[in-house]
A and B are shown apart, each in its own frame.
Chain A
Amino acid sequence: MFMRPTAALAALFLVSTAPLALAAEKPTDPQIAHIAYTAGSIDIEAAKLAIKTSKNKEVVDFARDMERDHEAVNKQALDLVKKLKVTPEDNDTSKALAKAAKEERAKLAKLKGADFDKAYIENEVAYHKQVNGALETLLIPSAGNAELKSLLETGLKIFQGHEQHAEHVAGMLK
């Protein structure tokens, strides 16, 4: 009886940390660019689904903010890689992120109303936490190019704001 919750917790921990735990080795700049862009695209996709699905004004406003900001950051990232003549390189972390996001989207697509709102916002809190943790501990310290590092640092500031905003909306839904 005692095993079950522990196993469930372990499984949960494994799931939530798996995508970034894969990046045990220091990623290169082309890989970092790919990871950052992928992470942004994932949140844009989730935002689009929320704008389409949710009827809650706070949730839709939040999703619009996510779409607007992540599109702006991704555009900046694309401009930078073009300028630096870097080709973003797909990698295991990007793949794991994309896979986890696909599963999350499938889960969200089945939900409606308040259930959807709650699941979307809770995932936004967790997702931004995860990405911000990866930026702080792995991507920013690993970045070689100064401009890439600076863009990631700006991104972190922005996404920390998103995390707080998501937590605020999550609190209101309770």
Chain B
Amino acid sequence: MRPLLLGAALALALSASPAFAATIEVTIDKLVFSPASVQAKVGDTIEWTNKDILAHTATVKGGWDVTIPAKSKGKVTLKSAGAVDYFCRFHPNMKGHVEVTP
């Protein structure tokens, strides 16, 4: 019985998981967002881990603006669907992209 129950519980958990918001990890190392492009759903969170000794931002023109201090983290919860380009205000040649589906 036990394995069956476990299986049922697992199936339930798996089928329920899309309802839970995911956290998408992006690393910043030597002034590069990696991965540069990510896909997410509305309600998901993007979390940046900054390995650099410099402060960065993840900024969308007319949208969110996240400050990510040196050797630290920053995050944003995505509220609307659509594809957006973001960049670092302090280092404008650092660029990233997020595709948000409903």
Contacts and interface: CB of A to CB of B under 8 A. Distances in A.
- Which bucket holds chain A's interface residue count? 10 to 19
Contact of A73 (B53, B93, B94): B53
Contacts of B91: 65, 158, 161, 165
A68 B30 contact: no
A68 B92 contact: no
B9 interface: no
A149 B98 CA distance: 34
Interface in A132-174: 154, 157-158, 161, 164-165, 168
Given A72-B70, A154-B30, A157-B31, A165 B93 contact: yes
Interface of A is mostly: helix
A69 interface: yes
A151 B28 CA distance: 16
Contacts of A68: 54-55, 90
A69 B93 CA distance: 15
A120 B51 CA distance: 31
B94 A161 contact: yes
A76 B89 CA distance: 22
A165 B93 CA distance: 7
Interface string A29-70: 000000000000000000000000000000001000100110
Interface of B: 30-31, 52-55, 70, 89-94
Give 3 closest A-B pairs by Cβ, nearest first. A157-B30, A65-B90, A161-B91
22 contacts: A61-B89, A68-B54, A68-B90, A69-B54, A69-B90, A72-B53, A72-B70, A73-B53, A73-B54, A75-B53, A154-B52, A154-B53, A157-B30, A157-B31, A158-B91, A161-B31, A161-B93, A161-B94, A164-B93, A165-B91, A165-B93, A168-B92
Given A154-B30, A164-B93, 10 more contacts: A65-B90, A72-B53, A72-B55, A73-B54, A76-B53, A154-B52, A154-B53, A158-B31, A161-B93, A168-B92
